[in-house]
A and B are shown apart, each in its own frame.
Chain A
Amino acid sequence: QVQLQQSGPGLVKPSQTLSLTCDISGDSVSRDGAGWNWIRQSPSRGLEWLGRTFYSSKWTNQYGEAVKSRVTISPDTSKNQISLQLNSVIPEDTAMYYCVRQSSWHRGWYFDLWGRGTLVTVSS
């Protein structure tokens, strides 16, 4: 059974960096056909895709337009995990953050497994 276990601080100060990790069990971060995403949800912004990393002959990272100047998603094959770094956070970055697996099929990708989420509050 595949599981996504998220970890990281629940409180971050404005202007600092938000860092989360997602430990993957039962699957491989470098499996061809799997994509590893971070998605967040807040009352003000709804659900927002932050970005993903996936391996298909080489590693590819893609990021959402609203955050791409501040976000980095990285795979760690030795630990079978992905990480999220969001720089220069502001209170509006307060949200539930989800680690989410994507699976590919002949028509594209779909999100098929979500972590339980980590609530991150940005406040001094």
Chain B
Amino acid sequence: QSVLTQPPSVSGAPGQRVTISCTGSSSNIGANYDVHWFQHLPGTAPKLLIYGNSNRPSGVPDRFSGSKSGTSASLAITGLQAEDEAGYFCQSYDDSLSGYVFGTGTQVTVL
């Protein structure tokens, strides 16, 4: 079962800003492990959006940004576009499990 908790869905109109939360605990995000974010369209390979809490790989638009505080992290999408309609999930590392853990996933809908 997924260790990191995300809202099942968020939605917004084109051009708006949406945020997705990722809530963990003292054994993962709260233990100062980095949070990474991925975008996943059905039938395709998941794509890295943010690594190390707030860093964008080359080619990822600056509409995507990440932040982390305490035992939680957030992904923000500003200037929402139709192509952003997809699934998003977070990922970190967990001390008690001695392994990598993932979020429950969030579906973003562009109204």
Chain A residues engaging chain B, CB cutoff 8 angstroms? 45-49, 62-65, 98, 105, 107-108, 110-117
Query: In the docked arrangement, what's the CA distance between A45 and B43, Å?
Result: 19
Q: Is the CB–CB distance between A47 and B33 below 8 Å?
A: no
Q: How far is the CB of A95 from chain B (nearest CB, A)?
A: 13
Q: How far is the CB of B61 from chain A (nearest CB, A)?
A: 17
Q: Is the CB–CB distance between B52 and A110 below 8 Å?
A: yes
Q: Is the CB–CB distance between B52 and A116 below 8 Å?
A: no
17 more CB-based (< 8 A) A-B contacts, given A46-B1, A46-B2, A46-B102? A46-B105, A47-B2, A47-B89, A49-B100, A63-B99, A107-B34, A108-B34, A110-B51, A110-B52, A111-B38, A112-B51, A112-B57, A113-B45, A114-B45, A114-B46, A114-B47, A116-B43
Partner of A108, one of B2, B93, B99: B93
Q: Is the CB–CB distance between A111 and B36 below 8 Å?
A: yes
Q: List 16 A-B contacts (CB under 8 A).
A: A45-B1, A46-B2, A46-B104, A46-B105, A47-B102, A49-B99, A63-B99, A64-B99, A65-B99, A105-B51, A107-B52, A111-B38, A111-B91, A115-B45, A116-B44, A117-B45
Q: Is the CB–CB distance between B52 and A111 below 8 Å?
A: no
Q: Is the CB–CB distance between A110 and B36 below 8 Å?
A: yes
The number of inter-chain residue pairs (CB within 8 angstroms) is 59
In the complex, which range does the number of interface residues on chain B fall in? 20 to 34
Query: Counting CB contacts under 8 A, is B18 at the interface?
Result: no
Chain B residues engaging chain A, CB cutoff 8 angstroms? 1-2, 33-34, 36, 38, 43-48, 51-52, 57, 89, 91, 93, 97-105
* List of B residues within 8 angstroms of A107 by Cβ: 34, 52
Query: Could you say which of B43, B45, B89, B101 has the most chain A C-beta atoms within 10 Å of its C-beta?
Result: B45
Q: Is the CB–CB distance between A105 and B52 below 8 Å?
A: yes
Partner of A116, one of B45, B57, B93, B98: B45
Query: In the docked arrangement, what's the CA distance between A47 and B90, Å?
Result: 10
